[in-house]
């Protein structure tokens, strides 16, 4: 009997904990919410927003230890060797018409395998937007996910209900390594029950209804901003309002959503005032970026005090940072070189993750050998533990230094601070 993509594989299981550990270490904070919404012992397809290239799949993979299969766009399977690697990683291809008619014909095989995956109660993950985009919005969804759901329901829905579970990933930053990541699972859509009660006989119409419902449900699970001409201004307002408030990532997302609702209401009720405000917000944001001031600094009531405690932390951590910098210099330089050549900066975090994933074992092995060669074993053992966390520390230290410089600049930019105060965001929203 031919081996299925969802079947257990020794080497996959062997490397998975290592991959997931590195994924979680790629973020300062990593949260998963809504797991209670996922149906148990059922045929489940997950529809997820797609905003950060390969990191989206890695973050979902690291959300728990449950077996998963993914579907990705077919053009990345062109190389036979790459195709074998992706199959090993439990990724199925789905082709679009732009890939050619011959390629699209291969979708039948992938769709049949996908139906078989959920029939075996293995979680199937798709990004129905079809491509990534670093925005807090959603693009039009393709039909692949819904064809799988419909075919599965026809084949075994009467014995094994089919569900589509909406999910969203929210990042603190799309481009900075070691930011934050939150996964939020929503209420499931019971496809089997839908088809039991629908009066619509046209399959394409039913798929469009399910598409609209899934899109609406996903938009409730993260900071969703309508994709229009005012997107950038609204997102700047959200960041300035909520960047430094206390609480976890989920609470921050709820605050973001509340701010978006208030801004949209203001836009609807006072369009001229909103237009004027958005223009001023964009002008302020452009000047802030030119001055290399982080949006986190603008939320500080006493930026000078904040810069002082950051300086104290930087001084205390300096010895560990210098040691980490010496050890991790090859990893950092290679990452910078590759990221500098990227046409799409959205792949930056994927590159940072990949270089770290590959070079970390070499750095740890060589470093451990040197430690035990030149230090007593208790000191060498302690050094090995510090070595394991040296790259995250190195990156976090650089980020703290960046924010410290930003606070210092913000302290002495009185004109810019007056410009910020004139926006009156706290009173408006």
Stated length of the chain: 429
Q: Is 63 exposed, middle or buried (0-12, 13-18, 19+ CB in 10 A)?
A: buried
Cβ count near 206 (within 10 Å)? 17
Within 13 Å of residue 91, how many CA atoms lie on the same side as its CB? 19
Q: Which domain holds residue 286?
A: 232-291
Instruction: Going residue by residue through the chain, which has 429 residues, state the pLDDT in tens, using 9 for 90 and above.
Output: 678 999 999 999 999 999 999 999 999 999 999 999 999 989 999 999 999 999 999 999 999 999 999 998 888 888 888 888 888 989 998 877 666 656 667 788 889 999 999 999 999 999 999 899 999 999 999 999 999 999 999 999 999 999 999 999 999 999 999 999 999 999 999 999 999 999 888 999 999 999 999 999 999 999 999 988 999 999 999 999 987 667 899 999 999 999 999 999 999 999 999 999 999 999 999 999 999 999 999 988 888 898 999 999 999 999 999 999 999 999 999 999 999 999 999 999 999 999 999 999 999 999 999 989 988 988 888 888 888 899 999 999 999 999 999 999 999 999 999 999 999 998 899
Domain end position, chosen among 186, 219, 252 = 219
What pLDDT, on a 0 to 100 scale, did the predictor assign at position 78? 81
Domain count for the chain: 3
**In a domain? residue 421:** no
Residues 287, 307 share a domain: no
Whether residue 387 sits in one domain with residue 252: no
Q: Within 13 Å and on the Cβ side, how many CA atoms surround 377? A: 0
Q: Answer whether residue 224 is part of any domain.
A: no
Same-domain pairing of 20 and 107: yes
Is 427 part of any domain?
no
Q: Is 73 part of any domain?
A: yes
424 occurs within a structural domain: no
Same domain, yes or no: 149 and 189: yes
Residue 196 and residue 244 in one domain? no
Please name every residue paired with 71 in a beta bridge, in sequence order, or none if there are none: 92
Is residue 182 located within the same domain as residue 158? yes
Q: Are residues 268 and 406 both part of a single domain?
A: no
Burial of 2 (0-12, 13-18, 19+ CB in 10 A): exposed
142 with 172, same domain: the answer is yes
Task: Give the whole-angstrom CA distance, residue 241 versus residue 266.
Answer: 15
Give the Cα separation of 20 and 376 in Å (integer). 32
């Amino acid at each position: 009997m031919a081996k299925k993509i969802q079947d257990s594989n020794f080497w996959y299981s062997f490397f998975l904990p290592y991959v997931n550990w590195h994924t979680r270490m790629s973020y300062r904070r990593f949260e998963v919410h809504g797991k209670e919404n996922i149906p148990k012992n059922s045929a489940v397809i997950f529809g997820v927003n797609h905003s950060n290239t390969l990191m989206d799949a890695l973050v979902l993979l690291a959300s728990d230890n449950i077996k998963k299969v993914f579907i990705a766009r077919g053009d990345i399977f062109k190389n036979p060797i790459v195709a074998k690697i992706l199959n090993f990683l439990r990724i199925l291809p789905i082709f679009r018409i732009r890939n050619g008619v011959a390629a699209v014909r291969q979708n039948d095989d992938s769709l049949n395998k996908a139906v078989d995956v959920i029939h075996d109660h293995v979680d199937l993950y798709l990004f129905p937007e079809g491509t990534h985009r670093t925005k807090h919005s959603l693009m039009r969804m393709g039909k692949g996910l819904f064809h799988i759901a419909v075919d599965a329901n026809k084949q075994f829905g009467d014995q094994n209900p089919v569900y589509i579970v909406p999910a969203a990933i929210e990042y603190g930053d799309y481009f900075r390594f070691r930011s934050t990541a939150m996964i939020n699972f929503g209420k499931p859509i019971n496809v089997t029950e839908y088809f039991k009660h629908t009066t619509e006989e046209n399959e394409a119409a039913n798929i469009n209804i399910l598409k609209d419902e899934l899109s609406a449900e996903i938009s409730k699970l993260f900071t969703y901003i309508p994709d229009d001409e005012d997107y950038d201004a609204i997102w700047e307002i959200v960041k300035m309002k909520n960047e430094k408030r206390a609480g976890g990532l989920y609470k921050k997302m709820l605050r973001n959503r509340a701010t978006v609702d208030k801004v949209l209401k203001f836009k609807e009720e006072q369009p001229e005032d909103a237009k004027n405000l958005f223009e001023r917000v964009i002008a302020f944001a452009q000047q802030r970026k030119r001055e290399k001031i982080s949006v986190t600094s603008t939320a500080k009531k006493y930026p000078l005090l904040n810069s002082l405690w950051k300086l104290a932390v930087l001084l205390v951590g300096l010895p560990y940072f210098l040691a980490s910098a010496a050890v991790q210099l090859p990893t950092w330089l290679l990452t910078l070189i590759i990221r500098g050549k990227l046409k799409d900066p959205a792949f930056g975090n994927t590159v940072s993750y990949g270089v770290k994933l590959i070079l970390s074992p070499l750095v740890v092995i060589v470093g451990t050998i040197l430690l035990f060669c030149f230090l007593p074993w208790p000191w060498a053992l302690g050094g090995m533990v510090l070595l394991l966390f040296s790259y995250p520390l190195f990156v976090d230290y650089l980020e703290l230094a960046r924010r410290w410089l930003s606070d210092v600049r913000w302290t002495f930019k009185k004109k810019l601070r007056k410009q910020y105060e004139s926006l009156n965001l706290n009173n408006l929203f």
